[in-house]
Structure 1
Amino acid sequence: MSVRKKLPPLASLTVFEAASRLSSFTKAADELGITQAAVSHQIHQMERDFGFPLFARLHRRVVLTEKGKVLSAAATEAFGLLTTAVNDITKEAFRDELVISATVAFSYFWLMPRIFEFSRDHPEIEVRIVTQDSIPNVISAELDAVIRFGNGMWSNGRAERLFGDEIFPVCSPDYAKASGPIDCPVDLLSHSLISYDTADPMWTGWDEWLPACSVVVPKKTLGLRCSFYTEAIYAALNGQGIVLGWRHLVQDLLNQNRLVRVTNASIDAAGAYYVVSPTKRQPKPAARLFLDWITSSSLACPMDAAGSPAVQTIQTSQS
């Protein structure tokens, strides 16, 4: 029997790869331009042919089974290699285009204010930034570099550490002035604490930060809950409460006095920021220039004379 006869149809594998990467039949349907029912049918047909499930259907989401994970990893790598090969032989890859993936928060608060320096020094390179909070496919032929927070362990990715981070409460100057003294972490419980949703287990929220500062978290806290970190920062800028500031993301806002730090308490982030490049191929010249630039930029973070992060700490008083 030929190898091809042992494989599912290419159309089915395409649907499966998208569904497994996005963890959603609906999102896969949107990406592929077909209906959710068509995605479900293709997956069901594969499972019937294999004789075992590829996904566990849970409430409002799907999760890969162990066998599904094995097939997903193989399909992702195979499609990545095929795309790279096609680009190489048809010369469709833009040699001077640089495609960078970063989370929305990192892109907006750290990368975008600085990337002009790279473009100024290398005007021949067309830079495209793909903002996505989901974990991207590192070996994708489209991506030259991926910037992510984590532990540095990414399959099929070569990771280089940029910097760790420090986490502390921040708010707008107006909120700080009106709120009265906030001298220690326990004082925060009487204030509006802005939080945000995240699926990243290494990302620190109030439920982790407060206990780390020896504060018992009540069953319910006051404050606004946002879907994204960027929304939480905007809420704080508009005086709606106190949010946890990640130093490398809020440093520019602190320098501009648009946000101020409250209390001297802070904790170190569990992970660090990394720039990840594919291991299956050598970085093209534009990517090598970017990797050199961002690693150099990460070493130029502002520090005060004592060697600690240059953040602004205020003591509030009754207005």
Structure 2
Amino acid sequence: MTGLTAFEAVARLGSFTKAASELGVTQAAVSRQIHLLEKDLGVPLFRRLHRKIEATDKGRSLSAATTTAFNLMADTIAEIKRDESHEGLTISASVAFSHFWLLPKIASFSKKYAEIPLRIISQDNAASLDGSDIDLAIRYGNGMWPDGRAELLFEDEIFPVCSPDYAEQLGQFADLHELTRHPLISSDTEDPSWTGWDEWFAAFAIQAPKRPAGLRCSFYTEAIYAALNGQGIALGWKRLVKNLLDQKALVRLTGHSVTTRNGYFLIEPSRSAKNARVAQFVEWLRVEARDLEPNQ
């Protein structure tokens, strides 16, 4: 390990002198460690040129491996230290998921594990888990993310919703085509997997209006609040608006629905060290994700 440590520093810094300074030893000591390592491996790792060194092909290969291994060890040690000094959990999720699904349920976790402080980071652009202090993330998509291990929590079902007062004004409608003549509340998103009105109507072979009447909001949360305030009809993602439907703050307009192409996933950082707090939250989340209506 001493020889590999010296080698990694030399390869990264491109200098015996700089490596010796970083490691707090003499240049001669570094040179000796490299010599012993080359002797043990039976191949040269560096070409000694005039006033500089250059890694050989074998040296570059070993350099890539040692850098990866040392970074992994450093990250793991940092994670272990953080686990010992930081007793809370940091959870990342989209604004809509946090607002409508996670936060209404989180009190049951806090009641059961009062000793675990929680920090919720809500942002629609998913933060990378590499090198961050996020313990767990909840994302919508296909489950293919390079920075963590994904576990499907649930898929969702999408249907039109509005306020009870607006539904009363709307009255009965003969078919889905009639919905296109009413204010349709939409939300902007750059996520191609998110289902909007165009995709929803297309599932029933209906052409959505090119210039629909209705509010266009920046975020899904705004679209739902607009529907709550009687501004028109929004698409309700069942798992997200379930509480609002149960409270009769929103009503479902039709039995027609579309099942999402993707799902909500729990993401654990690839390099995270297991600890009791993470395990407890994951188990709680799994139970909540299975909390379906009796008729489902």
Is TM more than 0.5 here? yes
Q: Which of residues 173, 177, 181 is equivalent to 2:172? A: 181
Of stretches 138-147 and 207-216 in structure 1, the one that deviates more from structure 2 is 138-147
Structure 1 length as normaliser, TM-score?
0.68
Tell me the distance in 2 between the aligned counterparts of 1:87 and 1:160: 21
Does the 8 Å contact 1:103/1:148 carry over to 2? yes
Task: Give the 5 Å matches for 1:143-222.
Answer: 143-222=134-213
Tell me the distance in 2 between the aligned counterparts of 1:226 and 1:256: 24
Does the 8 Å contact 2:93/2:126 carry over to 1? no
Does the 8 Å contact 2:79/2:273 carry over to 1? no
Aligned to 2:12: 3
Aligned to 2:41: none
What's the CA shift for 1:85?
A: 4.2
Task: Give the 5 Å matches for 1:288-299.
Answer: 288-299=279-290
Instruction: Give the superposed CA RMSD.
Output: 2.3
Give % identity: 45
Task: Give the 5 Å matches for 1:227-238.
Answer: 227-238=218-229
**Pair 1:123 & 2:132 matched:** no
Does the 8 Å contact 1:182/1:262 carry over to 2? no
Aligned residue type for 1:272: G
Tell me the distance in 2 between the aligned counterparts of 1:112 and 1:263: 28
Q: Which of residues 78, 81, 103 is equivalent to 1:112? A: 103
Tell me the distance in 2 between the aligned counterparts of 1:79 and 1:133: 29
Does the 8 Å contact 2:151/2:265 carry over to 1? yes
**Pair 1:100 & 2:109 matched:** no
> For each residue in 1:62-100, what CA deviation from the matched residue of structure 2 results, as whole angstroms up to 9, or x when unmatched?
xxxxxxxxxxxxxxxx999866644645x5864421100
Unaligned runs of 5+ in 1: 7-77, 308-319
Tell me the distance in 2 between the aligned counterparts of 1:294 and 1:197: 28
What's the CA shift for 1:170?
A: 0.2
Aligned residue type for 2:201: L
3-state DSSP of counterpart to 1:160: strand
Q: Which of residues 270, 273, 285 is equivalent to 1:282? A: 273
3-state DSSP of counterpart to 1:280: coil
Aligned residue type for 1:3: R
What's the CA shift for 1:219?
A: 1.9
Tell me how many residue pairs correspond in the alignment. 234
The 3 A distance-change label for structure 1 pair 272 and 121 is same
Does the 8 Å contact 2:153/2:289 carry over to 1? yes
Does the 8 Å contact 2:76/2:271 carry over to 1? no
Unaligned runs of 5+ in 2: 1-9, 16-69
Tell me the distance in 1 between the aligned counterparts of 2:231 and 2:140: 27
Structure 2 length as normaliser, TM-score?
0.73
Misfit runs of 4+, over 3 Å: 78-89, 91-95
Does the 8 Å contact 1:95/1:286 carry over to 2? no
> For each residue in 1:4-24, what CA deviation from the matched residue of structure 2 results, as whole angstroms up to 9, or x when unmatched?
359xxxxxxxxxxxxxxxxxx
> For each residue in 1:265-305, what CA deviation from the matched residue of structure 2 results, as whole angstroms up to 9, or x when unmatched?
1110111111110121223211110001101111112232x
Aligned to 2:39: none
